[in-house]
Each structure stands twice: as structure tokens, then as C-alpha cells.
Chains A and B, each alone.
Chain A
Amino acid sequence: MIWLLIFALAGIVFLNRYILLEPRLPIRLPLFIRQALQYSAPCLLTAICGPILLGDTGLAGLGSNPYTYAALFSMGCALVIKNMLLSVLVSLAGFYALLYVMS
């Protein structure tokens, strides 16, 4: 099942990369689609964080979940630290410090 998924995804990603390099294909995506695609990365990456933040506790547990506070801390890091990698490292350090304090 996982292998099937991997090959399906490989096909999908390749299609996205190749399709507009095909000379026989007439181009021009509709404006609405092009406009929406500009937001695909921020919106989908954010949506993926949802279930991770929820963990096993659900919506009611968000207030007592270290993930919630660590995510807020990460946002602060990203705003202050302009280097992406450094920002991730600092927020991870904050997360583990928080886990240690809350446990």
C-alpha cells in the first residue's frame, strides 16, 4: 500500500513538473487558478499542522498542549529570526525545553 502510494505520488509530482513543458499543450491557466496557486504553499503547509497540533487530545486539549505553545513560540522565532534554518533550530530547542518543564 505504501509503495503504491509512493509510485502514485511520484507520477503526480512528475506530471506537475512535466505537463507545461509539453510543447503540444496549449498554455494559459485560468487567472483564478493561477491566483489560487500562489496561496497553495502557505495554506496547505498550515493545514497539515492541524492534526499534529491536535495530537490525541482534540480541540479541548489545545490549551494544555505543549505543541500549541511551542507553535506560538515558533511563529515568534520566524518573525524575529530571518534565517529559516536557525529559526527552526531555536523553536525546536524551545519545544524540548517546554516539554521538559511541563513534564
Chain B
Amino acid sequence: MSDLATSQQQRFWLGALHILPLCLAVLPWGVLAGSMAVSQGFTPLQSIGLSVFVFAGAAQLVTISMVAAGSGFIAICLTVLVITAQHLLYALILREHVATLALKKRLPVAFLLTDELFALSVGKRTYDFAYLIGAGLCFYLAWIAFTVIGVLLAASVPNLADYHLDFSIVATFVAIVVPMIKRLSTLVGVVMSLMLSLIFSSLAVSGAIVIAGLLGMLCAVMVARWRGEAV
């Protein structure tokens, strides 16, 4: 019994250790998420609340910029629903290992299931609970800590709006999206999304971002089917 407890503890810390490099890799994004939120008018507590409760980097940046752009409640929720839908695929892949756990273990795994935790766990042959929780919890605490740093940095600088920090969202998203473009279908989807987003936004269409993104996705799928690209 005590052996079992020790080995579970060991695997917990092993998970935490294994995710440390990924924690470091998201340090700038966490700082960005915290400082962007403050610069776009979130209170420090709300900015940290985003990281504590939502805990999804891209979704947080999306939320911050959509709130700043004056998007509606429903449009923001819909965009975040779609943007975090890749978790459906992660859950689908982890499902056979995690779905057999008890509910009180499934819930924390689900909450901690980020891109990084998925990346860490997908190569492993055994997905044990202690390892997942150790890695996930470590990553969660690091993410909150980095957000707090960003909030403190932003709060200590006056006239933050003069620094055009919103371009860092564009720079970040471009750096994420460009390497994703490996097929014609993705390129068409991205170009359509950008053009439609520019047009709808300039016409002040409500839900411009989510409509443009969904139509871009639709175009991409149509191109993929037309060209017979592999799924």
C-alpha cells in the first residue's frame, strides 16, 4: 500500500518535471495574456481570473481582443467555443484511457487538458492519473504565475494604450498560423478568413470575427474535398 502511494507520488512529480520545458515555453504568452488584458481595460483581478478559470491561452487572447473590439457576448462565446474545439480531438484520443477513470478523476484531467498536456501525454504508452495531474497542475500554476507577472508589469506602466501592444496579438497569431499553412485548403481558408473579417468588421457586422472564421473554415473544407486532400 505504501509502495503504491510512493510510486504515485513519484509519477506525480515526474509529470511535473516533464512539463517544465513546456512551462518555460509559454512564459512569454502568459505574460502577454496578463499584460494585454490590463492594457485592454480588464481589471487586474479579471485578468488573472481569465487564467484561473478559462486557462486557455489562445482563447484568452481572443476574448481580450474581442472585448476590446466591442464584440457581443454571444459572438465571443461562439468564437471561443470553436477556437477551443481542438480539445474535442484531444479528448477523443485520450478517451480510451481517461474515460475508464472515476468521475472525480476525469473532471480534473479535463480541466487541465491543454495543448501542452496533450502533447506531453500523447506519446506515452501509459496514461496514469498521477502523472497527468502532476504535469497538468504544474502547468496550470505556472500559467497563473506568468499571468500575474504580466498584470504587474502592465499595471506599473502608465499610458499603456500608447504602446500599441495590440499588434503583439497580430505578431503572435501570424507566427502561429503561417507554419500551419501546409496545404492549399488551409491557405484558402486563412485568406478568406482575413478578407471576410476585414470586410465584415469595416461594415460593423456584429459577430464579424466568428462569421469570417467559420466561412473560412467552410471554404477550406470545400477546397480540401475538391482536391481530394487526405483528412
Question: A50 within 8 Å of B by Cβ?
Answer: yes
Q: Nearest 8 A-B pairs (CB), nearest first?
A: A50-B197, A78-B178, A20-B91, A43-B216, A18-B110, A10-B53, A44-B213, A47-B213
- Tell me if B177 is interfacial: C-beta within 8 Å of chain A: yes
Residue from the set B25, B113, B164, B192 with the largest chain A CB neighbour count within 10 Å? B164
- Mark A residues whose CB is within 8 Å of B: 1-10, 12-14, 16-23, 27, 29, 31-32, 34-54, 58-59, 62, 67, 70-71, 74-75, 77-79, 82, 84-85, 87-88, 91-92, 95, 99
Chain B residues packing against A (C-beta within 8 Å): 25, 28, 42-43, 46, 49-50, 53-56, 58-59, 61-63, 65-67, 69, 73, 76-77, 79-92, 94-95, 98-100, 106-107, 109-111, 113, 164, 166-181, 185-186, 189-190, 192-194, 196-202, 208-210, 212-214, 216-218, 220-221, 224-225, 231
Given the complex, which residues of B lie within 8 Å of A7, measured CB to CB? 53
CB distance from A86 to the nearest CB of B (A): 9
Q: Is the CB of B168 within 8 A of A37?
A: no
Given contacts A2-B67, A39-B220, contact A21 B91 (CB under 8 A): yes
A49 and B65 alpha carbons, distance in the complex (Å): 9
Chain A positions within 8 Å of B178 at CB level: 75, 78-79
Interface of A is mostly: helix
Once the chains bind, are A31 and B62 in contact (CB under 8 Å)?
no
CB pair B84–A42 under 8 Å, yes or no, is no
Task: Flag if A2 contacts B42 (CB, 8 Å).
Answer: yes
Please report the C-alpha to C-alpha distance between residue A7 and residue B76 in the assembled complex, in whole angstroms: 12
30 contacts across the A-B interface (CB closer than 8 A): A2-B46, A2-B67, A9-B80, A10-B55, A12-B80, A14-B110, A16-B91, A17-B111, A18-B91, A19-B91, A20-B91, A20-B92, A23-B100, A27-B92, A29-B92, A34-B231, A35-B224, A36-B221, A38-B231, A41-B86, A44-B193, A46-B193, A46-B213, A47-B212, A48-B197, A67-B167, A77-B174, A84-B179, A88-B171, A95-B171
Give chain A nearest CB distance to B194 CB in angstroms.
5
Nearest B residue to A4 via CB reads B73
Q: Knowing A21-B98, A58-B202 touch, does A95 contact B111 (C-beta < 8 A)?
A: no
Chain A residues whose C-beta falls within 8 Å of the C-beta of B43 in the assembled complex: 2
Report whether A48 and B202 are in contact in the complex, using a CB–CB cutoff of 8 Å: no
A44 and B79 contacting across the interface, CB-CB below 8 Å:
yes
Q: Which of A1, A23, A70, A99 has the most CB of B within 10 A?
A: A23
Are B106 and A5 in contact, CB atoms less than 8 angstroms apart? no
Q: Are B231 and A70 in contact (CB under 8 A)?
A: no
In whole angstroms, how far apart are the Cα atoms of A8 and B74 in the complex? 10
Residues of A within 8 A of B62 (CB): 44-45, 48
